Copies of this chain bind each other. A is one copy, B any other.
Amino acid sequence: MADTSWPDCAKSFRGVVLDMCGVLYESGEGDGVAIPGAAEAVRRLRASDLQLRFCTNETQASREEFVAKLRRLGFEISVSEVFSPAPAAVSVLRGRGLRPHLLVYDGVLPEFDGVDKTNPNCVVIGDAAEKFSYQNLNEAFRVLIGLDKPVLFSLGQGRYYKETDGLKLDVGVYMKALEYACDLEAEVIGKPSPMFFQSVLTDMGLQPHEALMIGDDLVNDVGGAQHCGMKGVQVRTGKYRPSDERHPTVTADGTVDDLAQAVDVILNQRGH
């Protein structure tokens, strides 16, 4: 019988999914900085027999721009390996014949280029930052309240994040605002939605127990992946806090100092 506890279960993995911000790099001015050893760790995973994907809740840039930034930081990554909420939303919109009113950051608009946005019958919000003006939020509200069956998609549900000039309100805050205004429940696209992790698994052709998620966000990365049946390991970089290791509801399958150490453990178990 296979051992199901980390790191013994590492032998049975067929794929690894990496969160990006806080695992590969720390955000900051300009591109931010690569986390020491992370680029080499990605190269070692790529040289192994494991499949590799990247999974981010980034909604301020298109995947093309985002991947270009990661390449400048020294990572070997291609756009087709990156899963982010905007393209997932586009897929949902197409599947359900929905035409969105968009309240998103300008940088991510290109992801929605091919989508019919005339006469909108739903609203999509992302981390729009300064674009979350009273006027813009009111406009999104009026679209929703004018619909027979209002549908609101939120690209992630984060409360806030840290930038070099301080804490910033994230998309989840405005999701809650519109939920209350319209008395509805938003559909979250991105981590920790199980549907989002499932789309990565489907792309790899793997069952949940065959894949490992590595992230710095205990609830959205680790908890989200576990909820989907995957294993989840937390790194002590990015938004990791020591209190995460005694969280009331989410317990990581393992905790490691950084991505380099996680990859060491995985590849050693597999006899590389």
Interface residues of A (CB under 8 A from B): 128-135, 137-138, 141-142, 145, 159-160, 166-169, 172-174, 176-181, 183
Contacts and interface: CB of A to CB of B under 8 A. Distances in A.
5 contacts: A130-B134, A141-B169, A142-B167, A169-B181, A176-B179
Copy number in the complex reads 2
Contact of A180 (B130, B135, B173): B173
Contact of A133 (B134, B174, B176, B181): B134
Contacts of A160: 141, 145, 181
Nearest to A140: B169
Interface of A is mostly: helix
A59 to B, nearest CB: 15
Contacts of A174: 177
In the complex, which of the residues A145, A167, A173 has the most CB atoms of chain B within 10 Å of its own CB atom? A173
A171 to B, nearest CB: 11
Contacts of A141: 160, 167, 169, 173
A129 B137 CA distance: 11
B142 A166 contact: yes
In the complex, which of the residues A135, A141, A172 has the most CB atoms of chain B within 10 Å of its own CB atom? A141
A138 B177 contact: no
Contacts of A181: 159-160, 169, 172-173
Given A131-B134, A169-B177, 6 more contacts: A128-B134, A133-B134, A138-B167, A138-B168, A145-B167, A176-B179
Nearest to A178: B173
A142 B159 CA distance: 12
Contacts of A177: 169, 173-174, 176-177
A159 B133 contact: no
